[in-house]
Structure 1
């Protein structure tokens, strides 16, 4: 297997069709509802139309939630509100329909796919179709060691690419992307700090489960130490993912890049998917044109990453649970934008009321002349 070079994606990824977007914008000007009154939904409809290459836009009929799962060794330091090695419990809750994303997906009729990239549990605890892709059992403690070997990092990225191909080939027309991890916000924040050239304290948040001040200080220290290990390998995205990422983050990065290659739009969730998107953008600058930011998670690192990619969150409801929940909450907005763009009627000036064409200098007929009023005394 030849070594994967993420920079090659720069030549493979094209932007959504600009001509189609112009056609969608022109069609919007002809709709009976005045431009601007639908707010950002106009922009969403035009973006989706360009991504599909279709005017009018087609409805989003086969969306899917894809969640990459993994455990992170750095959680042993007490940087998470959940116990280290406990991500498999999050996976089980999703599979049993007992998590927020599962409940919402069930109500909206959106299927959920969970991919074990690096859970730290016995494979027998979960279904075979979930664990069969696992790259390794847990990722290394990034403050003192690499998260992955170079070979494992490449395997994880290729895993994400393969999952994207499977989804595109099956007819999935939009992805809601999320993660199921314990300790995952620490490597995610490290990646964002490294790529944005900022300090640990600027990107360190409380995580989806929430942590107290002491745990926040431990997390900040872990990110600081991991940054020392990340900066020497900033020139190679694959090495960066191996040093301070993790199997689930590397797989998510590969998934995002290949989804853009396959022209499959993606709604990002929280700080983990934002970090992977930032790595992917470093490899292929056109890739963010295929993504939407579903919501603001409250994590400072996510806000910094989205700002760097010029992605404006669709929602800001204070949802911090993760697991793709915030991104899935944004899906109805995207569907509504598609419905408005496709189903609202067009309106034109009736031909019988349109002024007749005339030669230059020709006088208007009397019925079209303005009424003459007598001059005032």
Structure 2
């Protein structure tokens, strides 16, 4: 397994930020989580106040899954949604525009003929779809590492961003994520499986049975084996994206269950990388709550969202900007006449 040198956020800048926050024209601690976020950004940037967050970029990792039959939507929706992203009409593109964030799509494993899609979308493609994890491995030997490296390359190409947000698109994503989180944390399928795109009743029971069968199919030995057996190429690419962002000291806003699952795997590959990530929002998927608890991350927003795509994380950007404005622009008690 590869090793990585993860930088440590600047403790001196964090301490200086906390001191300044306590000296602002307000009761100590009265701005709550905004103060915590301002100190986090100061440590990440190594300066007080932190730099403006002008350049926010979303990368949507797209791919299909062999377990998509358990979803409320057919597998073909993944490819159709990639076209919607490119047209600028998806949920995340509309919401990202509100905060001035760019959106890029990376086809890692969409099962389609993409001959008429721009080359930059398919530049990092690993395969078409993944295996049905209840009966076979998701990936062939070596594909998890190849996808991980593709994600690292994507992060490297976005290295001048102030904030990165990993998005996702893939029918069957929540089933795969439930299996990976359950495997990583030693949890039973029934505790991690959620409604995903909106399944309930017998469909939810079938989804839970698929995850249970996947967990029982064979043991896993390390994070890359977990991605191979239970994950997907787009999940491995997202993990690589998160690790490379941490290596480069780029703050990341995680989105929902998919990026939280990738973060759990990425942390196991590169311990300490989680210091560079914030949880943008709390999704309705139970597996996300388990993953974030294991990572020690508290969501910034809780709006009951379950769309994915990066749509929840982009809505946390104004909160981060507000935290930065507080420490940069508020007056000091010491300056009062």
TM-score by length of 2: 0.97
> Could you tell me how far apart the structure 1 residues matched to 2:34 and 2:279 are?
14
Look up the match of 1:185: 174
Corresponding position: 1:111 with 2:102: yes
Matched-pair contact (CA < 8 Å) for 1:73–1:139: yes
Matched-pair contact (CA < 8 Å) for 2:57–2:163: yes
Look up the match of 2:263: 277
- Tell me by how many angstroms 1:349 deviates: 6.7
Look up the match of 1:133: 124
- Tell me by how many angstroms 1:125 deviates: 4.3
Corresponding position: 1:335 with 2:321: yes
**Segments ≥4 residues shifted beyond 4 Å:** none
Of 228, 246, 249 in structure 2, the residue corresponding to residue 263 of structure 1 is 249
SS in 1 for 2:167: strand
Of 249, 253, 256 in structure 1, the residue corresponding to residue 239 of structure 2 is 253
Alignment of 1:2-81 (within 5 A): 5-6=1-2, 8-9=3-4, 12-75=5-68, 78-81=69-72
- Tell me by how many angstroms 1:226 deviates: 1.0
Matched-pair contact (CA < 8 Å) for 1:314–1:330: yes
> Could you tell me how far apart the structure 1 residues matched to 2:7 and 2:100 are?
31
- 1:228-277 Cα offsets, whole Å, 9 max, x none, are 235x22x3111111111101000000111111000011111111111111
Which runs of 5 or more residues in structure 1 are unaligned?
Answer: 354-377
Corresponding position: 1:219 with 2:207: yes
Alignment of 1:345-360 (within 5 A): 345-348=331-334
Alignment of 1:165-184 (within 5 A): 165-168=156-159, 171-184=160-173
> Could you tell me how far apart the structure 2 residues matched to 1:35 and 1:65 are?
35
- 1:117-158 Cα offsets, whole Å, 9 max, x none, are 100010124222111211001111111111111221111000
Residues 149 and 63 from structure 1, CA distance in 2 versus in 1: closer, same or farther, beyond 3 angstroms?
same
> Could you tell me how far apart the structure 1 residues matched to 2:104 and 2:244 are?
17
Matched-pair contact (CA < 8 Å) for 1:269–1:326: yes
> Could you tell me how far apart the structure 2 residues matched to 1:128 and 1:283 are?
30
> Could you tell me how far apart the structure 1 residues matched to 2:76 and 2:121 are?
17
- 1:302-330 Cα offsets, whole Å, 9 max, x none, are 01111111111111111111111111111
- Matched length: 337
SS in 1 for 2:312: helix
Look up the match of 1:363: none
Q: Which has the larger radius of gyration?
A: 1
SS in 2 for 1:46: helix
State the superposition RMSD in angstroms: 1.4
Look up the match of 1:362: none
